[in-house]
Amino acid sequence: MTSVQSRNAAYTLALLIPAALMGGALIAQFVFGLPPCEMCWWQRYPHIAAIVMSLIAQMQRRTGGGDMLVMLAAVAIGISGLIGAFHAGVEYGWWEGITTCSSHKLGNDPLAAIMSAPVIRCDVAPWTLFGVSLAGYNFLISMAGAITVFRLLGRARRSAGGLQP
């Protein structure tokens, strides 16, 4: 793969990965009726940032000024993946969530605890495939995507003989 091909692939993936994951999240929400919990929203924000940065980088590609934005987009994609890993751990019961959207002990007033419980809980996976939740898939796809974008940009820079603008 040439330097130009590696760079083009990195730019394309930095846009397509978060766009596809956001598209999937919106389809799950609006077509299949799976509303997002608080931690689901946390995973969406870095993807939105990555899409914006990647679109700006696409406009700057011809001038060669978009590499830094693509790297930042890859960081944002990775951050969403890490949030997804944390969320999946909460769903699988590996650790307790830090938000109010997880179940808690009922305490002294069970009725008050039930009435104040959120409608969308973060500690229950509303959908799984092969035992992996949506948050788990976000982790897997986002981390693989972020690593791939970094590798492609690194390959492009090495093939070109050094750092480029």
Q: What is the mean pLDDT of each run of 10 residues along the chain (165 residues)?
A: 87 96 94 90 96 94 82 97 94 81 61 63 81 92 97 85 51
What number does CATH give the domain 3-159? 1.20.1550
The secondary structure of 25-87 as a DSSP string is HHHHHHTS-----HHHHHHHHHHHHHHHHHHHHHHHGGGT--HHHHHHHHHHHHHHHHHHHHH
Predicted local confidence at residue 46, as pLDDT: 97
Q: How far apart are CA 162 and CA 119, in angstroms?
A: 53
Q: By three-state DSSP, how is residue 133 classified?
A: strand
State pTM to two decimals: 0.82
Amino acid at 89: G
Can you state the percent helix, strand and coil of the chain, rounding each to 5? Answer: 65, 0, 30
